[in-house]
Homo-oligomer: A and B are copies of this chain.
Amino acid sequence: MKNTFRPLVLAAALAAGISAPGWAMQPDNEPISPIPAAKVTNPAMVELGKKLWFDPRLSKSGFISCNSCHNLSMGGSDNLKTSIGHNWAEGPINSPTVLNSSMNVAQFWDGRAKDLKEQAGGPIANPMEMAFTHELAVDMLNSIPGYQAEFKRVFKKDKISISEVTDAIAAFEETLVTPNSRFDKWLKGDQKALTKNELEGYKLFRDSGCVACHNGVAVGGNSFQRMGLVEPYKTDNPAEGRAAVTGSDADRFNFKVPTLRNVELTYPYFHDGAADTLEEAVNTMGRIQLGKVFTPAENAKIVAFLKTLTGDQPKLEMPILPPSSDKTPRPEPFAKK
């Protein structure tokens, strides 16, 4: 009954001038779910976190902010192979996007931080990144009347500690989600949201096995997997992956599966940033993870699908940062002479 009924509905829709309903494919228990919009429960904490996110005074130089490497104008990434840190240090690994990062099973490529709060403290004190210390960051904030008042309003405490700083940054980061991608619209039943080509790309992505790792609400981010399952991945990058955290040799080259949400914006790809384009990334992943060689036509379809995962980017008004007071220690970008 069902098979004979569908063409009739299609014919009727076409006769009525309605677009073809998704080339006879409709979402049905798909391994990817639509991303929900952010729910802001504490707007004052989010606003404070936004200020901290954009404040380069959290770095030794006064030049590097969270946004330097997770630029919200560029998909929450820096679009560099590996990042630039204090004194132009060449970072060891590609900066993952902050967008939808609250949905990750853990933070950093090796998952060494259990959540956004724990992650937020990392770069501030990393000598290759912001090169500050938590103590100096807190002293700096405590010296600024505008911050003092705002922390007090938000946390009802007189004294700022690093815990409130990372709480506020994490609260801001939790709002950085990207709903309403065309793929999510299709998942929710809008048959016109995807083209035939994109939908064929999704079927290839799903049926080739990519979804074994890239699934769920963030299309990844929810497991650690070995880079080079079928064929070893060749790289000069020394990162060990999860083994650096667990100490277990079995975890070597296990990395957190990156989210594919907004992947069109977060080039270059992989933990070493070696793949400049989506075409290259899809080819490499097919080969080393699945033992598959996609034809150029198949590759192009998968890339077309991946571009439908770009959602609404966060609309953010640039914060105006409270000025330093006369007592605020000044940044030290250059070695003393």
Q: Give the distance to chain B from A78, nearest Cβ to Cβ, in Å.
A: 7
A40-79 CB mask vs B (1 if < 8 Å, else 0) is: 0000000000000011110001110000100111110011
Once the chains bind, are B62 and A80 in contact (CB under 8 Å)? yes
When C-beta atoms are compared, the residue in chain B nearest to A262 turns out to be B323
Once the chains bind, are A267 and B324 in contact (CB under 8 Å)? yes
Interface 9-residue window, one of A14-22, A286-294, A327-335 = A327-335
The distance in angstroms between the C-alpha atoms of A87 and B321, with both chains bound, is 26
Q: Give the distance to chain B from A331, nearest Cβ to Cβ, in Å.
A: 6
Contacts A/B (CB < 8 Å), 21 sampled: A54-B73, A56-B71, A56-B74, A56-B78, A63-B80, A72-B318, A73-B320, A75-B323, A79-B331, A80-B331, A87-B88, A88-B333, A88-B334, A90-B334, A267-B324, A277-B326, A279-B326, A315-B317, A315-B318, A317-B317, A317-B318
When C-beta atoms are compared, the residue in chain B nearest to A316 turns out to be B318
Q: Does A27 contact B (CB under 8 A)?
A: no
Once the chains bind, are A68 and B73 in contact (CB under 8 Å)? no
Q: Give the distance to chain B from A180, nearest Cβ to Cβ, in Å.
A: 14
Once the chains bind, are B62 and A324 in contact (CB under 8 Å)? no
Q: Does A232 contact B (CB under 8 A)?
A: no
The distance in angstroms between the C-alpha atoms of A320 and B80, with both chains bound, is 17
Q: Does A264 contact B (CB under 8 A)?
A: yes
Find residues 247-281 in chain A having any chain B CB closer than 8 Å to their own CB: 264-265, 267-268, 276-279
Q: Determine the interface band of chain A, counting residues with CB < 8 A from chain B.
A: 35 or more
Copies per complex of this chain: 2
Once the chains bind, are B73 and A61 in contact (CB under 8 Å)? no
Q: A73-B320, A321-B74, A331-B79 are in contact. Are A84 and B68 (CB under 8 A)?
A: no
Once the chains bind, are B80 and A323 in contact (CB under 8 Å)? no
Which among B61, B90, B316, B334 is the interface contact of A317 at CB below 8 angstroms? B316
Q: Does A189 contact B (CB under 8 A)?
A: no
Q: Does A223 contact B (CB under 8 A)?
A: no
Once the chains bind, are A79 and B324 in contact (CB under 8 Å)? yes
Q: Give the distance to chain B from A182, nearest Cβ to Cβ, in Å.
A: 15
